[in-house]
Structure formats: C-alpha cells, structure tokens
Chains A and B, each alone.
Chain A
Amino acid sequence: MKLKTNTFAHTATRVAPLSLGAVSLAAVAMAWMPQTMGAQTPPPANGVLDNFATGGGKVAATSGIQTVTQTGSGIFGGSRYIQLSVNTADPYQQPVQVQVRPSNSASDPSSLLWSIGYGATPRIDLEYGNPPSAPLNLNLTGYDRLRVNFGGLTGPLNFNIEAYDINGVGGICGLNLVASGGNGEANAFTVDFPFSLFAVATLGGGTIDWGNIEFFDIIFQGGSNLAITKFLAIPTTSTEPLSPNVCAAPAT
C-alpha cells in the first residue's frame, strides 16, 4: 500500500518545519549551529512522552485552521501544540473537534480524541518541541522505536510521524490504517515507528541524530473518529514485541 506523500506539502501557519521550503531553509540555517544547544534529556523511565493526562483542552472548526498550545507535567518538554486543519472545500462544513481529555477512569482513559463531522476531510498536526525557541533536546539513545497507542479508530487514516534532530535533519515514516471497529465498539491497538525506517526528507540528506531530537510532528489525515492514549519511546532492550502496525518510508 503506497502512502500519501503530501505531508510535507502542508501549509504551515507558524514557523515550523512543515513545508518542504521551510524544512530546507531550516536545515541550511541550523547546520551552522552547535549540535548541543542544550542538555539532552532521556525520556522518563516508562518511555512515555505524552499520556494525555495533563494539558486538557480542545479546538474545533468547520473550516480553516485552529491551533492551541497545551502545557502539562505529563508532556515531554512541557507542552504540545495542536493544529487542526479543516478543508475549506468540505461540502457540508460539519464540525471537527480535537480534544485532550484527562481522565481517571479505566473505561475512558486519558486520550486525545478526534471527532469528525459528516463529509469532513481534516488533518491534525500534533507537535512536540517548537523550534527554535523550545527544542526537545530529547536523547533517544538506547531506544529503537516510537509507539502510539490508539484507543480506537473508526475508519481509514493516513498516519505519519516527522522527526527532526538538532541539526535540522528531518525524516518521516507513516502508514495507512484501517478501522479497528465501528463507532462505540472500536478496539485499542498500537502503531510502531522504528527509527531505522524513517526516511530523511530534508534537503542535503544526512542521518537523523536520535540522540538529540528537537521536534516531532505526528500527522493524522483522514475522515475517521479516533482516540490515542499514549505517545512513547520503546527501549532497545525491551521484550515488547513489535506492533503488527509498523510504519514505512513514504513512496517517492
């Protein structure tokens, strides 16, 4: 199954390496910066980068772009940025909502929830680290993959993670997912993003320095309701088996 390759063509509304042009410029500029802008920090012992138990809030739109920055102690780096983009050409302009909903309940755990109105074709960029002012300086040495835990997915989804290191070298890995059940009965599952499968997408090539990650952009594209419950890194030494859902480099 070929992946969509338009993730880098997204029009950003702020200074972020989302568009190809922006990425290229960032890569050139940042190549002259020292490689250690700040002390690199490993993930917490459990590897969880965000459990959505802190920084609650939501954004909604029927058209155009809405953004929010949420802060919390359970977020690696202290904040997450959510950009919701709803296609202005959607015929019925039905509401789309992204909500981070902390919870103490096991039946409806803390989640990022995406609820999509009829006929809408939106996109979410869920970002960690806001270059250049607040890079993550995340040291993933000793880890070999990222994982996203889904609480459920009710339809098709194009799902990608972009990762950028402190030198501006960025790569992407993604896959197309299918529903894990209907609305109200969707099952939980995981998606793994092995570091080795990220394809460098920034001009100039290079290799992503996983020992000093500056920025993640988790990209959701599709018309499906979903919930994700964790974003985490898995140690190389983990006995946790690889998820059946593994990303691939985008088709060229």
Chain B
Amino acid sequence: MAHLAHGAGFLAVVAMALMPQTMRAQENPLVLDNFQTGAGKIQATSGTQSVTQTGSGIVGGGRSISIVYNPAAPSQFGQPSTLQVRPSADPKVLPPALIWSNGFDAVPGIEVEYAGPNADTPLGLNLTNYDRFRLSFEGLSGSIVLTAEVWYGGSFNFYGYQSCGLPASNIPFTVDIPFSAFNPGLSPITWSDLDGLFFELTEGASPLNSPNSGDHGFLRPSGPGPGGHGHVRPSRHLGRLRDMAG
C-alpha cells in the first residue's frame, strides 16, 4: 500500500484491540473493532453530528461516532469535517478503517464510543487477562490528543481516563495505552467488568512527544478533584469535548 500524502486529510484508524499480558498470548489479541462492519459516514461544519452503527465485528455489537465542534470555535469558512467507517472488500489490499477528514480551518473533535447497539447497554467486558489497549493507525496528518476512557460500576457510574499526544505520521503506527496508566474515578477501576469504552481525538499541538505510549496528556476531564472523577455518565457523551477542554 502506498504511503499517503502528508498534508490535509486527517487520520485513519484501522483497528482497536486489547493486548494480553503475556507475549505468547499477544499473538491473539482481542479485537474490539476492526471497522469491517457497521459502515457509514457523518459530516458537520458546526455543532455535533452522531450516528450509532451496529455490526458483528464491534465489541458489544455497536459503536457511536460523533463529530463535535466547540460551540465557541465553529469552522469560520464552513468547510466540512467527515468521519467515515469504511469496510474493505479486500482487507489484505486496503484495510477497513475509521477515517477522519477535515477541511480548511476545520478543527473539531471526534468521539468513538462502545456501549452496545443502543449506546446504553453495559458491555460487561472482562479484561482481566489483558494489560493495555492498542490503536492501530494507518496514518495521521497532524498532531492530535487522544483520550481513552473506561466506564465502570455496573451502570456507567464512574470512568477512568488516560490521554496522550500523537504527532503526525505518514506511515502506519500503533499506540498502546496501558491499563496501569489510567487515572481512576471515585472507585478503583474494575477491569473485570467494564460498562463501556470511549475514545476522543482532538486536533491540535501536543506537549508530548511519545507516539507509542500512553501518558498523561494535558487534556483533563473536569471533575471533583485530582484522582476523583465520578461523573454520572452523560447521555451519549454529546458535548463532552467542551467538558474535556475545560
């Protein structure tokens, strides 16, 4: 596959997976989403656009994807941002992918949420035998901040989070987010019973320079205090970008 031009566009994520704790077991990671099922696209020039997609290749059977503009920073020039899950007829030639494309001066964020086909069903996901998330990128044309959240407590009561900055890359790369790096909510994270997974990607410069390891980024969810984030789960996470940037 030819490497992509390093200019506009934005990114293509080709898989989200969990990596087991042992090297031998790593030969068989648990794929959370390979974007081969649940096709579709959304587009926005302001505000928020969301869609819930269902498919057999998605953990919990459904994903919700959103484009979220900060209300204070819409695209002045009205250029589009699009987010597409694009399955592939021949994954060996071109992988299926989640593709984010931003027009001139468009700087929204995107969200990808796993919480069942209706976006409100606890996954009951047991990750006891795994120690990190892995996102496989096909390319990234500008720097972003990636934030991962795990929701738990049985009814999306709490969430733990971790952020990292990613520089641009015109070659494929992976990002690992170790479970041990997550900041817990009001209660310790129950990795044996997760309710939902949430990933947020925001365009912009990053203070970090480590493309391959999750670390504490500069984005920080608003909450009751250091180490104590116990928000009730907001409905479908709409408007979370504004909260996260606070």
Interface residues, chain A, with chain B CB atoms under 8 Å away: 91-92, 94-95, 97, 99, 101, 105, 107-108, 111, 113-121, 152, 154-157, 179, 182-184, 186, 222-227
Contacts and interface: CB of A to CB of B under 8 A. Distances in A.
A98 to B, nearest CB: 10
B139 A223 contact: no
Nearest to B81: A115
Nearest to A121: B5
11 contacts: A94-B82, A116-B7, A119-B5, A154-B104, A154-B142, A155-B5, A183-B105, A184-B105, A184-B203, A223-B141, A224-B7
B105 A117 contact: no
B143 A182 contact: yes
B84 interface: yes
A95 B101 contact: yes
A184 B106 contact: yes
Contacts of B102: 115, 183, 225
Nearest to A114: B104
A115 B77 CA distance: 10
Contacts of B103: 97, 113, 115-116, 225
Interface residues of B, number: 37
Given A101-B78, A113-B79, A223 B7 contact: yes
A114 B105 CA distance: 10
Chain B CB within 10 Å, residue with most, of A101, A121, A183, A225: A183
Given A97-B79, A115-B79, A183-B142, A91 B104 contact: no
Interface in B196-210: 203-205
Task: Tell me whether chain B's interface is mostly helix, strand or loop, or mixed.
Answer: loop
Interface stretch (B8-16, B122-130, B186-194, B224-232): B8-16
Interface in B79-100: 79-80, 82, 84, 86, 94, 97, 99-100
Contacts of A157: 7
A217 to B, nearest CB: 22
A108 B76 contact: yes
B4 interface: yes
Given A101-B78, A156-B7, 9 more contacts: A92-B99, A97-B79, A117-B8, A154-B142, A182-B142, A182-B205, A222-B7, A225-B103, A227-B105
Contacts of A156: 5-7
A92 B97 contact: yes
B23 interface: no
A97 B240 CA distance: 29
A111 B102 CA distance: 17
Nearest to A111: B77
